[in-house]
Amino acid sequence: MAVSALQLAELALNGAAFLCGIVSAAALTVTQGAFGGRCVLYGAASWNGTALTLKSFSHVSLCYFVSAVSVLVALYCFSALLYGIYSCCVGESHWDRTWLSIALAVAAVILFFLLVSACVLRVGMDTLCASVTQAAGLASCRAAQGKPWPSYDATRFYSNLYSAQASAWVNVFLWCLLLALLVAQRRRAAPFALLQRSDPEWSAETEAIFGGRPARP
């Protein structure tokens, strides 16, 4: 049973993308739990002299959207990983040309949603951190983890949000590679071009079938 390098690369990328999706969704969910289920992306903070508190939150559906994209992509990667392993074990062809076209379209849609969710995480986290550092007069957002947050367990909010954002961007990069890999596989699966009369193979084939041209006297 021979496994091509493209198949092995696809398996590795699907496995890595699955892990990135799970990490991103889990880190964002943990952050929501630390703030009572609220979505802190694009939030605004205030300082009362002794502690930090959030005076505004984003709608919870924003965080649900980011988490849902990460989880659904992770499930898709896990399914593709299992199918890829099965195909390698039984020695079947992984994709034909039609399925490669469908997979390319699906990969493009997934990459679009991953890019949107990664941008939401990046801009939302930057907005929150800018508000926190300005309100408390801190040099960095990480330092706010050591400040008291009444009613919230925010000791790792920056670390969790950073992990979610980093995993999301790594996932975008992995899906760019997966998209390029699918394009390469589709090109390899392209049908052979028909022979033309000007091709040397045309003369060889026609002579083998109809015999050589009669010699002129």
Dump pLDDT digits (tens) for 157-177: 899 999 999 999 999 999 999
HSE (CB half, 13 Å, CA atoms) of 155?
A: 1
E strands along the chain, which residues?
39-47, 52-58
Report if residue 62 sits inside a domain.
Answer: yes
Report if residue 14 sits inside a domain.
Answer: yes
Report if residue 199 sits inside a domain.
Answer: no
pLDDT digits (tens, 9 = 90+) for 5-34: 777 888 899 999 999 999 999 999 999 998
Q: How far apart are CA 135 and CA 52, in angstroms?
A: 8
Report if residue 200 sits inside a domain.
Answer: no
**89-to-2, 12, 17, 84, 92 alpha-carbon distances in Å:** 9, 16, 22, 9, 8
Q: How far apart are CA 56 and CA 128, in angstroms?
A: 10
Nearest CA to 103 among 3, 2, 5, 6? 6
Domain that holds residue 78: 5-190
pLDDT digits (tens, 9 = 90+) for 32-89: 998 888 999 998 888 887 888 888 889 999 999 999 999 999 999 999 899 888 877 7
The pLDDT, as a whole number, for residue 202 is 45
Cβ–Cβ < 8 Å for 39, 120: no
Report if residue 35 sits inside a domain.
Answer: yes
Report if residue 74 sits inside a domain.
Answer: yes
Cβ–Cβ < 8 Å for 150, 53: yes
Nearest CA to 145 among 37, 40, 26, 29? 40
Cβ–Cβ < 8 Å for 157, 61: no
Report if residue 72 sits inside a domain.
Answer: yes
User: Cα 145 to the chain's mean position, in Å?
Assistant: 29
Report if residue 213 sits inside a domain.
Answer: no
The number of distinct structural domains making up the chain is: 1
